[in-house]
């Protein structure tokens, strides 16, 4: 008994510092925000929080920004499967089908590793509508009126999608490559001797073998996309005309432009529910295509 | 004879395919790298050369003035840099140590309530940052650390991801090693500091590098919790600089280059750890 008590004490000494930090900076804020979402509290208004039940959610559903940000949040899911597919193809190539594998791997991974606010601004200039390199190229191949990209509400989201697709490929490639390197070469060799074409080999052998990795990448990719904020917000602030306002920007604006803390909490927990919902759908759907 | 010939033909064909694939992949990687290459080349251009077409990948008349201006004008890019370095370095050392300490408790000391706490960690990991921004903003205001670097450093010290990653590694260390040390009379603290920490240098280094890049790129926390320009980190200072630069695209690219280059240096120095770290965190996690 004494030994068990001692063991328990030592255990808490080890996890204690981290546990205290987690409690202060994650658990308490999470509970606090859970409470706030049922109140109408506005920061620095001088009024104490008033309990209003689910009113914030009723207000949110009627908010114009809600519909826009749901639509945009669904749009930013598109780059995920595209960059997963491209990452997969590149990984298959870099797994014993090219020379200079390590150098190429570094080349593909570097854009992901360095992506951030700085690179977002590079994209903004590349997409500059009048003289930017992308539109200059489009004009030179005969498109006389290329899209205005970030400058127009109709096309800003497309520019965001291009930027996100390019940013995700390197990460997906590196994860697939690690998975491929753990496969036994026998299965792959057998298929090659049977005279399977490269396409058949990809679809029928390699892809099923790495399907757990694909599941991991789609789940984490969707979560990352839904949470994505910085690269979009830094260059567009959700505009023009709210055309790039995704859910995280919606929540941010309500909190830090309008200081409607109760309402903003409701918006951010809705975002959590969307993430949970999309993750659960994928988890349930995995039986159909994931082979362990 | 024919068999040998066949094998030779097949080998040549294989080499040809491999060469073709290499060229194809090299071109694809260049396409992905092109924004970064354009950024660097434009940072050395004069304003008038920025948008010339066909694109000047190597500036015909390179100048250093953009870089010099970025570092020396009043906006204090050097200051943003020092702020970022300070925060990133503190977290790069502090976060792995604190995570390792907890990871030892979670993996090597069986005690009542441990698994419940671990389950709580799993749940916390699912909550998006956005949920926590509002309450943290209010709490930091009460704690008087809003608009100080503490608002970034203190929460950054505690990571769920780090605990998971290091715990995973600790669980792979054979129990015989620590049992032998127990028999020699060592306690948990000695075993942790003298045995586990030295053994886990690679995983600690990997996590430290990943954590450094996160902190270096962290824009959201800085945006929400910092107000004074002299406290700004590189991402926030960069945004500030870009908005002020307006249409000075060559200056903007010099600033972007200044933001990306440290990451590139970290990447090429720690490539082995980084690639291993990113891949193992996914495959084994």
In angstroms, the separation between the Cα of residue A199 and the nearest Cα of chain B is 15
Same structural domain, B47 and B115: no
| Extended beta strands in chain B, E state | none
Same structural domain, B55 and B169: no
Same structural domain, B155 and B273: yes
> Once rounded to an integer, what is the mean pLDDT over residues A212-234?
91
Q: Which of B106, B132, B242 sits opposite A15 (nearest CB)?
A: B106
**CA nearest neighbour of B81 among B237, B222, B214, B211:** B237
In angstroms, the separation between the Cα of residue A111 and the nearest Cα of chain B is 6
Does the distance separating the beta carbons of A275 and B279 come in below 8 Å?
Answer: no
* pLDDT over 60 (residue A220): yes
Q: Which of A17, A36, A108 sits opposite B135 (nearest CB)?
A: A36
Between CA A127 and CA A121 the distance in angstroms is: 10
Taking only the tens place, the pLDDT of each residue in A70-116 is: 999 999 999 999 999 999 999 999 998 899 999 999 999 999 988 88
Cis preceding linkage at A89, omega within 30: no
Taking only the tens place, the pLDDT of each residue in B26-62 is: 999 999 999 999 999 999 998 888 888 888 888 888 8
3-state per-residue secondary structure call for A51-78: ECCCHHHHHHHHCHHHHHHHHHHHHCCC
Chain A residues with beta carbon closer than 8 angstroms to that of B99? 18
Between CA A215 and CA A212 the distance in angstroms is: 5
Provide the pLDDT confidence category of residue A192 given band limits of 50, 70 and 90.
low
* pLDDT over 50 (residue B284): no
Same structural domain, B207 and B279: yes
**CA nearest neighbour of A97 among B21, B157, B41:** B21
Chain B residues with beta carbon closer than 8 angstroms to that of A10? 109, 111, 188
Which residues 16-75 of B have a C-beta within 8 angstroms of A? 17-19, 21-22, 24-26, 28-30, 32-33, 35-36, 38-39, 42, 51, 53-55
Same structural domain, B180 and B129: yes
Which residues 138-157 of B have a C-beta within 8 angstroms of A? 138-139, 154-155, 157
Same structural domain, B58 and B157: no
Same structural domain, B134 and B15: no
Between CA A211 and CA A32 the distance in angstroms is: 39
**CA nearest neighbour of A218 among A84, A64, A36, A48:** A84
> Higher-confidence residue: A195 or B221?
B221
Provide the pLDDT confidence category of residue B285 given band limits of 50, 70 and 90.
very low
Same structural domain, B54 and B72: no
Same structural domain, B55 and B73: no
Chain B residues with beta carbon closer than 8 angstroms to that of A276? 126
Same structural domain, B225 and B100: yes
**Closest residue of B to A141, CA-based?**
B54
> Higher-confidence residue: B53 or A238?
A238
SS3 A39: strand
* pLDDT over 50 (residue B277): yes
Q: Which of B54, B131, B271 sits opposite A269 (nearest CB)?
A: B131
Does the distance separating the beta carbons of A105 and B130 come in below 8 Å?
Answer: no
Does the distance separating the beta carbons of B117 and A19 come in below 8 Å?
Answer: yes
In angstroms, the separation between the Cα of residue B255 and the nearest Cα of chain A is 8
Same structural domain, B208 and B153: yes
Which of B30, B130, B239 to mutate to test binding with chain A, by most A CBs within 10 Å of its CB? B130
> Higher-confidence residue: B239 or A193?
B239
Does the distance separating the beta carbons of B220 and A230 come in below 8 Å?
Answer: yes
- Residues B157, A21: contact at Cβ < 8 Å? yes
Q: Which residue among B39, B63, B87 closes a domain?
A: B63
* pLDDT over 70 (residue B118): yes
pLDDT > 70 in chain B, percent: 97
Q: Model ipTM?
A: 0.88
User: How many domains, chain B?
Assistant: 2
CATH no. for residue B81? 1.10.3720.10
Chain B residues with beta carbon closer than 8 angstroms to that of A94? 25
Q: Which of B38, B259, B268 sits opposite A126 (nearest CB)?
A: B38
Chain B residues with beta carbon closer than 8 angstroms to that of A126? 35, 38
> Given CB atoms, is B112 within the 8 Å cutoff of chain A?
yes
Between CA B203 and CA A182 the distance in angstroms is: 20
Ramachandran angles phi, psi of B132, nearest 5°: -90, -15
Q: Which residue among B36, B63, B90 closes a domain?
A: B63
Taking only the tens place, the pLDDT of each residue in A26-74 is: 999 999 999 999 999 888 777 888 898 898 999 999 999 999 999 999 9
* pLDDT over 80 (residue A221): yes
Range of the domain at B182: 68-283
Mean of all residue pLDDT scores within chain A: 90
The residue behind tokens 């107000």 is B227
Same structural domain, B158 and B107: yes
Q: Which domains, from first to last, does chain A contain?
A: 78-244 (1.10.3720.10)
Chain A residues with beta carbon closer than 8 angstroms to that of B102? 14-15, 17-19
Q: What is the pLDDT of residue A191?
A: 66
Cα–Cα distances in Å, from B69 out to B40, B45, B72, B136, B234? 15, 13, 5, 37, 16
């Amino acid at each position: 008994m004494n030994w068990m008590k001692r063991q328990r004490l030592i255990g808490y000494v080890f996890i204690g510092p981290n546990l205290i930090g987690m409690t202060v900076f994650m658990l308490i804020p999470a509970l606090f925000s859970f409470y706030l979402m049922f109140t109408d509290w506005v920061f620095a208004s001088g009024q104490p929080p008033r309990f209003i039940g689910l009113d914030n959610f009723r207000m949110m559903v009627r908010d114009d920004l809600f519909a826009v940000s749901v639509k945009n949040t669904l749009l930013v899911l598109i780059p995920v499967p595209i960059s997963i597919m491209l990452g997969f193809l590149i990984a298959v190539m870099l797994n014993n089908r090219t020379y200079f594998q390590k150098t190429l791997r570094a080349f593909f991974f570097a854009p992901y590793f360095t992506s951030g606010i700085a690179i977002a601004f590079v994209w903004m200039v590349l997409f500059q509508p009048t003289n930017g390199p992308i539109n200059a190229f489009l004009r030179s191949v005969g498109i006389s009126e290329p899209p205005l990209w970030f400058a127009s509400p109709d096309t800003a989201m497309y520019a965001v999608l291009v930027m996100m697709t390019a940013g995700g490929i390197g990460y997906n490639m590196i994860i697939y490559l690690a998975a491929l390197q753990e496969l036994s070469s026998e299965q792959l060799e057998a298929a090659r001797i049977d005279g399977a074409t490269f396409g058949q080999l990809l679809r029928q052998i390699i892809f099923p073998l790495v399907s757990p990795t694909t599941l991991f990448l789609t789940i984490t990719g969707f979560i990352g996309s839904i949470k994505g904020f910085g690269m979009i917000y830094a260059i567009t602030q959700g505009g023009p005309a709210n055309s790039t306002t995704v859910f995280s920007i919606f929540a941010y604006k309500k909190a830090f432009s309008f200081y409607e803390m109760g309402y903003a909490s409701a918006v951010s927990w809705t975002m959590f529910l969307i993430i949970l919902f999309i993750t659960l759908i994928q988890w349930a759907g995995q039986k159909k295509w994931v082979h362990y | 004879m024919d068999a040998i010939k066949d094998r030779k033909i097949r080998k040549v064909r294989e080499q040809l395919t491999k060469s073709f694939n290499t060229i194809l992949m090299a071109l694809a990687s260049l396409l992905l790298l092109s924004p970064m290459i354009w950024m660097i080349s434009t940072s050395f251009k004069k304003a008038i050369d920025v948008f010339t077409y066909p694109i000047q990948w190597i500036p015909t008349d390179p100048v250093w003035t953009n870089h010099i201006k970025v570092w020396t004008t009043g906006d204090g890019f050097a200051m943003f840099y020092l702020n970022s370095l300070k925060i990133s370095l503190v977290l790069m050392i502090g976060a792995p140590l604190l995570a390792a300490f907890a990871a030892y408790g979670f993996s090597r000391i069986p005690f009542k309530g441990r698994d419940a706490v671990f389950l709580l960690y799993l749940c916390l990991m699912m909550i998006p940052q956005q949920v926590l921004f509002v309450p943290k903003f209010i709490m930091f205001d009460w704690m008087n650390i809003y608009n100080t670097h503490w608002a970034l450093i203190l929460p950054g010290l505690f990571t769920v991801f780090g605990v998971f990653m290091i715990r995973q590694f600790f669980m792979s260390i054979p129990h015989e090693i620590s049992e032998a040390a127990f028999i020699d009379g060592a306690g948990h603290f000695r075993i942790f500091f003298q045995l586990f920490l030295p053994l886990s240098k690679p995983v600690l280094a990997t996590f430290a590098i990943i954590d450094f890049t996160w902190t270096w790129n962290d824009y959201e926390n800085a945006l929400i919790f910092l107000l004074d320009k002299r406290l700004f980190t590189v991402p926030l200072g960069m945004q500030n600089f870009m908005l002020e630069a307006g249409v000075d695209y060559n200056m903007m690219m010099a600033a972007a280059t200044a933001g990306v280059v440290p990451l590139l240096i970290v990447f090429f120095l720690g490539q082995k750890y980084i690639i291993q770290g990113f891949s193992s965190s996914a495959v084994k996690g």
